[in-house]
């Protein structure tokens, strides 16, 4: 047992003994399938605080020869898998946290410092098998493998910290990538390399040293989707256990849409909310809003409009393939949006290739980032949104129309066009504060078309449901008639109570009062 070679299993022991532990041990069955195959190089990238380090501690406890972990896995899901016994504590594990090496190296080259420290650890177990003068880690491991036939499982945390924290130093990045390539690529002593970080590895400029890795990222987690965050069933179970409202948990932390699992929750935030018995911004509180502000303020054509549309509840098309997988080289707005997906500030629908703001927690972070300057038009709309909801609930058609005039005018100045899309975006922003009590759904399928905007009251709210229909150069009464004719309220059959039908029309020819509004009450 050493510091880097076969560390103890304390990290995993602490996890399973915690007040809240969600069993993700079946991830081991997935990694067992990768052992000694061409797919044995896995780069698993996720946002910070999404359980990456905990997964590595679990894998180290399972594979490492350093101690017997059988009792730790007793009763957990992986114990029933056919591959469990075959690989339990059968490999030499090398566990590296790159962030730690970057901090400790100080003025020394990080990779030289890393090799020096890991070779010290290896010398304690295999000192007689390689020269005292050897300073290259890959050469030491080759010699150990030749002499003993033992393979290694590499577990690397924060693999991309050099790329994130040494953005300006291409020489440092290149030396680091060359080190990893020499250490891992085509090496028969590698049984498995499982590396984690925020960013994928595929392309850093022109230097593609690590093209042997299979990527599992927030744009495609492949077979690892279930282990990316908490699933809907897992969050439901926690809400039941801690007597917390599941619908409110969804509004705060749901939204990371993957191909199979459409509802993936932020694990850090869910755990803290359950522990504190209170919903709040837990994940975003661990980092300043400056992290998102830097990127949304970038001057790429169309970026501001896309951010506004997403804040208004829309999804926007994004091409994730042009992204260079770093935090410095941006060519188009899609590169910035893709980075925000990897950082966890945007969700991604891979089927439709669309980005969106996933939940209330992230929405508030965007609001914080915009509130400090550069987005005055949006902030004026958001600040007026609480009054607009009150006017709507009071059925004050005149004031609602005036409020929508303000919102549409401000939003149109960013979107640079006036049509039903910009009107829909304006509605989403104008009712921004309604999300405290409502779940807002754009274009909700009704069986006979799509209701433009529906506000479903959250379970703890005593407010009525709201169905909004938008028209352009027609009439607000026509919008109300469409709601009735196409029976849009049928989509709310599971809801009992009052419903407000809101018809909105935008008239381009009426410069003084472009918006008109009609509000009617119905009851289910």
Residue 4 in contact with residue 94, Cβ under 8 Å?
A: yes
- Residue 221 belongs to some domain of the structure: no
Do both 332 and 393 map to the same domain?
no
Residue 9 in contact with residue 60, Cβ under 8 Å?
A: yes
Work out the number of other CB atoms within 10 angstroms of the CB of residue 132: 6
Query: Would the pTM count as exceeding 0.85?
Result: yes
Do both 347 and 384 map to the same domain?
no
Do both 318 and 435 map to the same domain?
no
Do both 47 and 89 map to the same domain?
yes
Do both 359 and 396 map to the same domain?
no
pLDDT at 289: 66
Per-residue pLDDT reduced to its tens digit, 167-214: 878 888 889 999 999 999 999 999 999 999 999 886 555 556 788 999
CA distance 370 to 296: 9
Per-residue pLDDT reduced to its tens digit, 92-104: 999 999 999 999 9
Do both 34 and 130 map to the same domain?
yes
- Tell me the CA distances in angstroms from 329 to 170, 202, 205, 218, 233, one per residue in order: 12, 14, 8, 19, 39
Number of domains the chain is built from: 3
Task: Average the pLDDT over 143-159 and give the result.
Answer: 96
- Residue 5 belongs to some domain of the structure: no
Do both 369 and 273 map to the same domain?
yes
Residue 420 in contact with residue 470, Cβ under 8 Å?
A: yes
Do both 111 and 191 map to the same domain?
yes
- Residue 224 belongs to some domain of the structure: no
- Tell me the CA distances in angstroms from 387 to 286, 360, 380, 394, 395, one per residue in order: 31, 20, 12, 11, 12
| HEC string for 150-185 | CCEEEEEECCCHHHHHCCCCHHHHHHHHHHHHHHHC
Out of 192, 216, 240, pick the residue that ends a domain.
216
Out of 374, 406, 426, pick the residue that ends a domain.
374
Q: Quickly state the pLDDT bin for 461 (edges 50, 70, 90).
A: confident
Do both 93 and 160 map to the same domain?
yes
Q: Is the pLDDT at 501 greater than 70, yes or no?
A: yes
Task: Quote the percentage of the chain above a pLDDT of 90.
Answer: 59
Out of 374, 396, 411, pick the residue that ends a domain.
374
Q: Higher confidence at residue 224 or residue 132?
A: 224
Of the candidates 42, 28, 22, the residue with the CA atom closest to the CA atom of residue 91: 28
- Residue 4 belongs to some domain of the structure: no
Task: Average the pLDDT over 17-36 and give the result.
Answer: 97
For residue 90, what is the domain's CATH number?
A: 3.40.50.300
- Residue 258 belongs to some domain of the structure: yes
Do both 28 and 116 map to the same domain?
yes
Do both 201 and 78 map to the same domain?
yes
Do both 161 and 300 map to the same domain?
no
- Residue 88 belongs to some domain of the structure: yes
- Residue 454 belongs to some domain of the structure: yes
- Residue 223 belongs to some domain of the structure: no
Task: Average the pLDDT over 16-37 and give the result.
Answer: 97
Per-residue pLDDT reduced to its tens digit, 412-452: 778 765 566 677 788 888 888 888 888 888 776 655 556 67
Q: Which residue has the tokens 């256990």?
A: 241
- Give the domain extent around 309: 229-374
């Amino acid at each position: 047992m050493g510091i880097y070679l076969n560390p103890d299993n304390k990290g995993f022991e602490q996890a399973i003994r915690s007040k809240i532990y969600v069993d993700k041990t079946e991830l081991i069955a997935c990694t067992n399938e990768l052992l000694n195959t061409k797919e044995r190089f896995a780069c698993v990238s996720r946002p910070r605080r999404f359980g990456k380090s905990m997964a590595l501690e679990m894998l180290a406890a399972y594979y490492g020869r350093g101690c017997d972990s059988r009792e730790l896995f007793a009763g957990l899901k992986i114990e029933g898998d056919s591959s469990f016994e075959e690989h339990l504590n059968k490999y030499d594990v090398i566990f590296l946290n790159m962030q730690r090496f970057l901090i400790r190296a100080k003025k020394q080259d990080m990779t030289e410092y890393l090799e020096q420290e890991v070779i010290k650890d290896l010398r304690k177990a295999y000192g007689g098998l390689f020269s005292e003068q050897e300073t290259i880690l890959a050469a030491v491991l080759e010699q150990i493998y030749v002499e003993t036939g033992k393979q290694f499982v590499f577990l690397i945390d924060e693999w991309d910290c050099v790329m994130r924290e040494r953005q300006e130093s291409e020489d440092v990045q290149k030396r680091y990538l060359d080190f990893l390539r020499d250490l891992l690529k085509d090496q028969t002593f590698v049984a498995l390399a499982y590396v984690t970080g925020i960013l994928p590895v595929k392309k850093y400029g022109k230097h593609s040293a690590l093209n042997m890795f299979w990527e599992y990222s927030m744009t495609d987690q492949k077979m690892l989707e279930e282990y990316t965050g908490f699933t809907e069933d897992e969050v439901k179970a926690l809400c039941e256990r801690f007597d917390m409202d599941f619908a409110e948990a969804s509004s705060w932390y749901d939204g990371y849409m993957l191909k199979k699992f459409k509802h993936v929750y932020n694990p850090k935030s869910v755990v803290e909310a359950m522990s504190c018995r209170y919903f709040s911004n837990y994940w975003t509180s661990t980092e300043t809003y400056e992290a998102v502000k830097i990127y949304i303020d970038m001057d790429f054509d169309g970026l501001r409009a896309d951010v506004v549309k997403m804040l208004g509840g829309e999804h926007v098309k994004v091409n994730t393939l042009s992204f260079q997988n770093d935090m410095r080289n941006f060519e188009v707005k899609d590169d910035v949006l893709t980075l925000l997906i990897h950082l966890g500030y945007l969700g991604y629908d891979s089927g439709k290739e669309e980005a969106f703001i996933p939940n209330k927690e992230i929405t508030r972070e965007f609001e914080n980032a915009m509130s400090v300057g550069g987005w005055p038009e949006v902030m004026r709309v958001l600040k007026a949104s609480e009054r607009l909801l009150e006017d709507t609930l009071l059925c004050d058609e005149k004031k609602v129309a005036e409020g929508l005039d303000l919102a549409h005018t401000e939003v149109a100045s960013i979107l640079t066009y006036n049509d039903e899309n910009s009107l829909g975006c304006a509605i989403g922003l104008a009712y921004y504060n309604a999300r405290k009590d409502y779940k807002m759904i754009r274009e909700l399928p009704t069986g006979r078309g799509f209701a433009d905007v529906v506000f479903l009251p959250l379970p703890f709210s005593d407010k009525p449901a709201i169905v909004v229909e938008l028209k352009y150069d027609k009439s607000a009464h026509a919008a109300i008639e469409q709601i009735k004719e196409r029976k849009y309220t049928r989509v709310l059959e599971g809801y009992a109570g009052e419903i407000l039908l809101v018809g909105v029309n935008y008239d381009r020819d009426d410069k003084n009062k472009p918006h008109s509004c009609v509000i009617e009450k119905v009851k289910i």
